[in-house]
Amino acid sequence: MIHTAVLKKEVLEYLDPKQNENFVDCTVGEGGHSEDILNSTGPNGKVLGIDLDPQQIVYSHWLEAIYKDRVVLTNDSYTNLKEIIERKNFGPVSGILLDLGMSSAQLEGTHKGFSFQVDQGLDMRYNDLTGYLTAEKIVNEYPEEKIEEILRDYGEEKFSKKIAKNIVEQRKQGRIKTTFQLIEIIKDATPSVYWRGKIHYATRTFQALRIAVNDELENIKRVLPQALSVLQPQGRLVVISFHSLEDRIVKDFFKKNKLFKILTKKPVTAGRDELGKNPRSRSAKLRAVIKI
């Protein structure tokens, strides 16, 4: 599966990369956005590409073959942004991109249980070395009230109470180990009309579990102040979020921080052409600021 980076034209517009400037791609993925930045910042501009998923770093090595020492890749969490920049002696930083979406490879090319299209184990960690918590542990060992809270708060799942109750009932029969097992449990706990909605009826539950496993919302809160501190004056920060919880955190941080000038009064979304070519872009929201 070839991953298509979202909002590529808009990212370049708001990052506004110029000759010989340096940028950080906090979630380098397969290098789609970084390629565009590198093409705009030659001959000496550099990109620091960070990704917590080691496989994503492997996928982005092709950038090094083309752009040589203009590319610096590191398998790490963007929550360590300031430390990474110091360790790599990278800078000055003219712009930072934080794309919070998952790639097609992560959804369909791994065996972590991110996708409900294939039957896999319920892992959902981006990196096996970052912690012991998995989706399987949550659904089999957490109390019903805590599971309901995760589904409600992180997935905005309106049937969180019924799904959590059914999970706890079903695990009495044996451990819930696979995505297909969980999908059936969700289906049994929800009305048939829910199965025919615009999004798959398991989407919100899977989203919630993934966020809980990887502590994604807290990670966004950790990285934003660091991004502000490492940007040089007139440096730009562009964030692409994919659901309302992420977008709300970004929006609130930008509004409350007086060291930023907001460039996007409303979130920028994909145009008709991109939506036709890449349906996954439908939930992408871009917000951008410039450091004063």
Cα separation of the two ends of the chain: 41
Closest CA to 127 of 270, 22, 27, 249: 27
Q: Which helix H or strand E contains 34, and what residues bound it?
A: helix 32-40
57 contacts 125 by C-beta, under 8 angstroms: no
**C-alpha gyration radius of the chain:** 20
Check whether 247 is labelled as a binding-site residue: no
Long-range contacts of range 134-138, CB-CB < 8 Å, 24 or more positions apart? 134/213, 135/182, 135/209, 135/210, 135/212, 135/213, 136/175, 136/176, 136/177, 138/209, 138/212, 138/213
The span from the CA of 266 to the CA of 256, in Å, is 16
Check whether 78 is labelled as a binding-site residue: yes
152: its two tokens? 């409600």
Check whether 117 is labelled as a binding-site residue: no
Check whether 99 is labelled as a binding-site residue: yes
Check whether 271 is labelled as a binding-site residue: no
Instruction: Compute, in degrees rounded to 10, the torsion defined by CA atoms 136, 141, 146, 148.
Output: 60
Residues annotated within a binding site for S-adenosyl-L-methionine: 31-33, 51, 78, 99, 106
Annotated binding site, which residues? 31-33, 51, 78, 99, 106
